[in-house]
Structures are given as C-alpha cells and as structure tokens.
Amino acid sequence: MNDTADLPLPDPDRTRAGARWFNSLSFRLFGLTILAILVVEAFIFVPSASGFRTTWLTERVEAARIASLALEAAPDRSVSEELSAQLLMYAEVWAVTEIEDDMRFQLLPAQMPLEGGLRMLDLRETTSMNRVANTFGAFFAPDDRILVVTAQGVEDDRVIEVLMPHAPMKSALLAYARRIAGLSLLIALAAATIIYVLLHLLVVRPMQRVTLSVEQFRMDPGAWSRRLPHTKRRDEIGRAQNALADMESAVAESFRQRSHLAELGTAVAKINHDLRNSLASAQLVSDSLARSEDARVQKAAPRLERALTRAIKLATETLDYGKATPQPAELEGVGLRQALDEAADEALAAWPSVEFINNVHMLDHVMADPDHLHRIASNLIRNAAEAMSAAGSDPSRIFVSLETNDIVFTDTGPGLPDKAAQNLFTPFAATTRQTGTGLGLVIARELARSMGGDLSLSETGPNGSVFRLTLPPQD
C-alpha cells in the first residue's frame, strides 16, 4: 500500500535545470556577496573621493603659498618672469593672487592667456554635502574649466587666490576612481570566494543533502530506506537535519504499520463477515434447540443464545468500526421528539423497567441525518439502560432535552469509573461491561462528526451521567 502514488513525479528537465551551477544556492550567494561588497565600496568611495579632491586642491594651494614666500625675500616683492614661470610650474598652478584689506596683489601672474569658464571654490567655507556635490560635478565638468581656489594666506589677515586648470584634477579623480574600483572588485572577489567556500561547506552542502532526502522521501515515504543520518552539529541546520531524520523514521514506520494494519484489517473484515454468517446460522440452530422438550437442552439453550448474540454483536460492531469512513451524512430537518421516541422504543425493548422521559417539544426540529441520529440516540439510551439495570439503580430513568443545538441525555445510573471516562472514545478501551467492545460510543462520535457536530461526556458521578450531542445550527 502506497499513499503517495498520486503525488506528481519530478519533471526531468526541471531537475536537470535545477542542477545547473548558475541556478544553485552557492552561485546566488557568491553573486550576492560580490554585489553587497561593491555597494558598500560605492558608499565608501563617495567620501573618499571627496577627500581625495580636497587633498589635491589643498596640496596645490600649499605649493602656491610656498612659491609666494619667495616674493617676501625679493626686493619690492617682485621676481623675474622666468622665475615666476618656474614657481608656477613647480606649484602646478597658473596664477597666484593675494588679497589684503580688499586690495589684490598679483604675486605670480599668469604666463599665458586664460580661456575657459571659471569655477569659484572657497576652501575656507565648505560643508560635507558641498564637497560631495563638487566631487561628482568634477567628473562631468569640461576639461577647459579654470578653477579659482580661495584659501587662507600666509598671514591670518591675508587670503590667497590660486588659478589652476580643472583637467589635471579631473584626470587624477578618474585615475583614483579606477584604482578604487579595481581594488574593490579584487576585495569583493576574494571575500566572496572565502564566504562562498565557507557557506558551501557549512550551509549549502548540508542543505543539499536535506533537500535530496526530502525529495526522495516524498516519492516513497513507506519504502525508502536511505534515510537522512543524524549529525553532531548543534546549530539550526544540524537540528533541522536531526529532526528530519527522526521524522523520516517515524513516518516510514507509520506507513509500514499502516500498510500492515490495512492488510490485517482486510483479513479481519473477511473473517468477521464469514464468522457473522456462521454465527447467524448457529443462532437459527439455537432457536430450534430452544423449542426442544429436553430439560437439559432447555437449560443450556438460553446461555447458548446469549453467547451467540454477543458474538454476532461483536462481529457487527467490529465491521462497522473497520469501515474507512462512516456513511456520508445527508442533513435534513428532523422532528426531534418523534425521532427520540423511536430510538428509545428500540433501545429499551430489553429493559422495560427503565423509564424514558422525553422533554423535547413536539415542534422542535434539528438539522441531522435521520439514520445517524437514530443510531446515536439508541446507542446512548441502550448504554444508560444497561448500566442502570446492572447497578440496580432505583429509580432508573433517562431524560432527554434540547438546549439550543445540543441534545442532552441524562440518566440516574451509577456514573462511569475514572478509567472508563478517560478512555470513553478510545476503541476497545472504554467499556465497563464484560460483553461490550467499547466501539459503540466511538462509532456514535464518528457519526456525530460526520454531521458537522460532536458527542461528548458533559459530566458523570454517583447521581448519573450526562452526554451532550451537538448538532449543526439550522440555516
């Protein structure tokens, strides 16, 4: 018996596609690691490029300051054009101007005509956002732009203004960006490789084993013998693997037991069917013997008839319980008082001394399957009558009433022992009678649940027991 026969088989093409390396979890982790590192490096690059630009400008301004110091030693703070050109070349700037008391002094004048747009930059008053914005702008600015950089002069009351070309700074920024990009990619590849190897060994490979085990187990949980082994790992994956291994063992064992029980149940059903037919034939013979005039036969016949009746009842209840599901319920409006009277007439035929008190109103109706309701009610009434007769309860009465959607059965019997009450709806375990099977209430509850309701023991004690049959509400 294999309950997984209806499960869809894996698609071979999809299986092969899933085995490709670029579809694997390892490759995705590798790619995501590289992407994550590059994104982090991009965020780091922004302030670092801004700092590189500021440093580049500051170095040129410092060189211009040093070049201007040569004028302090020169007469009238002036030098030849040749020396001025050399100082500008060493400082890598085009011109240097000093501002003092709103007066401009051309320290090192430009040696060539200046053509291009001017861009004013003040290194004294800059913010982080301005530096970042100017850095991004420098990448896309035209090469002929001229930078006019203002900074603090040699003296506190002086300001130095330096003219320099934009193209060298743009070229330096592009070279810096290429170096950072190459280094970031190298770091990303190295880190991703290390993380990939570690994750593959610690996570992916164990998950692949678990996944393969689940797929194989899904195909045939009852017959598959290559179960997932236990592991000594104590992390989440180790606990998941051990739990899955235990689950596979339990489910496989359950499937085997279910298959064996199904086969055994089929055999028992066949035996019970044949046994019931044989017992019915034996009961006919018993009835004939009961009419015999032989005193010994008349004395033994009642015992034989009772034994045959109990055996037939046992076989019938076992067959009823052995059915896969109870007969499907067909709900309809049922006149409750009449249905309960008919069930009581049948159930109390052997106990005429038990008084049945039906407190249900003549007009009360419930939604139920008539046959299911009859079987449940007759079973509860019969059990109560038999218990009260065996205990010699006086008075012996059974009350039935309707409370909303609950039919309440109350008796004046001795109550149920604790063990019987705890196992009331367990097959073959809850009976208190030597001749009972413990299946009556089990079948009654199954019938109640098939109607969308339930059957429960509300209370029990020396003054009697109360059973409550809940039915679905009427529309």
What is the rounded CA–CA span in Å between residue 226 and residue 207?
16
CA end-to-end span of the chain, whole Å? Answer: 42
Range of the domain at 282: 237-322
338 and 313 in a common domain:
no
Same-domain pairing of 135 and 280 = no
Same domain membership, residue 55 and residue 170 = yes
Q: Would you state the structure tokens that stand for residue 308, as one six-digit string?
A: 């045959």
Question: What's the pLDDT at 8?
Answer: 44
Residues in contact with 162: Cβ distance below 8 Å, sequence separation at least 6, in sequence order: 60, 61, 64, 93, 95, 96, 97, 148, 149, 150, 151
Distance, CA of 145 to chain centre:
61
- Whether residue 114 lies inside any domain: the answer is yes
Same domain, 59 and 180: yes
Indicate whether 8 belongs to any domain.
no
For the chain, which ranges sit under pLDDT 70? 1-26, 70-81, 83, 154, 217, 220-228, 237, 256-294, 296-327, 428-438, 475
User: Is 197 among the domain residues?
Assistant: no
Q: Are residues 279 and 357 in the same domain?
A: no
In a domain, 202, yes or no: no
Q: Given this model, what pLDDT does residue 185 score?
A: 84
**297: in domain:** yes
Domain boundary among 289, 322, 355: 322
Count of domains forming the chain: 3
Are residues 154 and 51 part of one domain?
yes
129 shares a domain with 27: yes
pLDDT at 358: 95
Q: What is the pLDDT of residues 179-223, one digit of tens each?
A: 888 888 888 888 888 887 887 777 777 777 777 777 776 776 655
Pair (298, 342) in one structural domain:
no
Q: Is the residue at 152 inside a domain?
A: yes
Amino acid at 182: G
Same domain, 165 and 41: yes
- Do both 158 and 273 map to the same domain? no
For residue 473, give every residue at least 6 positions away whose Cβ sits within 8 Å of its Cβ, in sequence order, or none. 367, 405
Whether 229 is in a domain gets the answer no
Residue 161 and residue 302 share a domain = no
Helix (H, G, I), strand (E, B), or coil: what is residue 176? helix
CB 272 within 8 A of CB 257: no
Q: What is the CATH number of the domain that holds 404?
A: 3.30.565.10
Q: Work out the angle at residue 396's Cα, subtended by the Cα atoms of residues 346 and 349, and round it to the nearest 5 degrees.
A: 20
| pLDDT tens-place string over residues 453-475 | 999 999 998 889 999 999 988 76
Closest among 421, 419, 433 to 467, alpha carbons compared: 421
- Give pLDDT, residue 469: 95
Which residues, listed in sequence order, are joined to residue 97 by a DSSP beta bridge? 106, 161
372 and 290, same domain (yes or no): no
C-alpha closest to that of 457 among 429, 428, 430: 430
- Given 123, 152, 185, the domain boundary residue is 185
CA-to-CA distance for 184 and 31, rounded, in angstroms?
14
The model carries a pTM of: 0.42
Q: How crowded is the C-beta side of 356, counted as CA atoms within 13 Å?
A: 22
For 5-35, give one letter per residue: b (16+ CB within 10 A) or e. Answer: eeeeeeeeeeeeeeeeeeeeebeebbeebbe
Where is 143: in which H helix or E strand?
none
For 41, how many CA atoms within 13 A lie in the half-sphere containing its CB?
20
Does a structural domain hold residue 80? yes
Q: What are phi and psi of 165, to 5 degrees?
A: -75, 150
Per-residue pLDDT, 275: 66
For residue 464, what are the CA distances in angstroms to 104, 326, 409, 467? 116, 30, 10, 10
